[in-house]
Chain A
Amino acid sequence: DAGVIQSPRHEVTEMGQEVTLRCKPISGHDYLFWYRQTMMRGLELLIYFNNNVPIDDSGMPEDRFSAKMPNASFSTLKIQPSEPRDSAVYFCASSPAGGGYGYTFGSGTRLTVV
């Protein structure tokens, strides 16, 4: 398996634009997580899905953020409109059912909003 795949690796956009980040989890993993990493706040959980259903989105900072998982092999995180304070590295991770085997993270998307 190629692991968790995220795209794009880097994204630079202007304030006010829509940004879409993409993630392909490991096949067979029932859980998918979106995390954000900043120097100030470290790694924060934004939202997670179980079997494509959003379970907990309490970490989503504002209504400008939304996430979807239309099928077991694809998820998106969308920011609309984007703001400079959204600049961060966004990670996607997946885990098998039960979580006993731990998590596998993608390489992340570095987002810069200017």
Chain B
Amino acid sequence: KQEVTQIPAALSVPEGENLVLNCSFTDSAIYNLQWFRQDPGKGLTSLLLIQSSQREQTSGRLNASLDKSSGRSTLYIAASQPGDSATYLCAVSLSSGSARQLTFGSGTQLTVLP
């Protein structure tokens, strides 16, 4: 059974700092990995999607990397801003069959202090 772990569970940084969020998964036979952002009381917003054949994806100040063999992904946020404060979730979908359900980590709650 696929298990997804995110470390740290919570992180507080001063504005302007670069930071890295970590995600690890136990089954390397993934189809893709997706990073989401969730604001308090809100739904999930997709940030980046990395296919299993890719090593990284970038969107603005965000960069996500994937090392499938070691079962790890990182989300790098450059020049953090108070508006980046949210919970960040990573999720993987497995390669087997036609199943595309996601297995989520428990998230990292990020607070960027002004």
A interface residue numbers (CB < 8 A to B):
31, 33, 42-43, 45, 48, 50, 55-56, 91, 93, 95, 98-108, 110
B98 CB contacts on chain A under 8 angstroms: 50, 55
Number of residues in B with C-beta < 8 Å to the partner? 25
B5 to nearest A CB, angstroms?
A: 11
A-B CB contact pairs (8 Å), 23 listed: A33-B101, A42-B105, A42-B107, A43-B89, A43-B102, A45-B101, A45-B103, A48-B100, A48-B101, A55-B98, A91-B43, A93-B44, A98-B100, A99-B31, A99-B100, A100-B51, A101-B49, A102-B49, A103-B91, A103-B102, A105-B46, A108-B43, A110-B41
> Does B32 interact with chain A (Cβ within 8 Å)?
yes
**With A45-B102, A55-B99, A56-B99 as contacts: A104 and B46 at CB distance below 8 Å:** yes
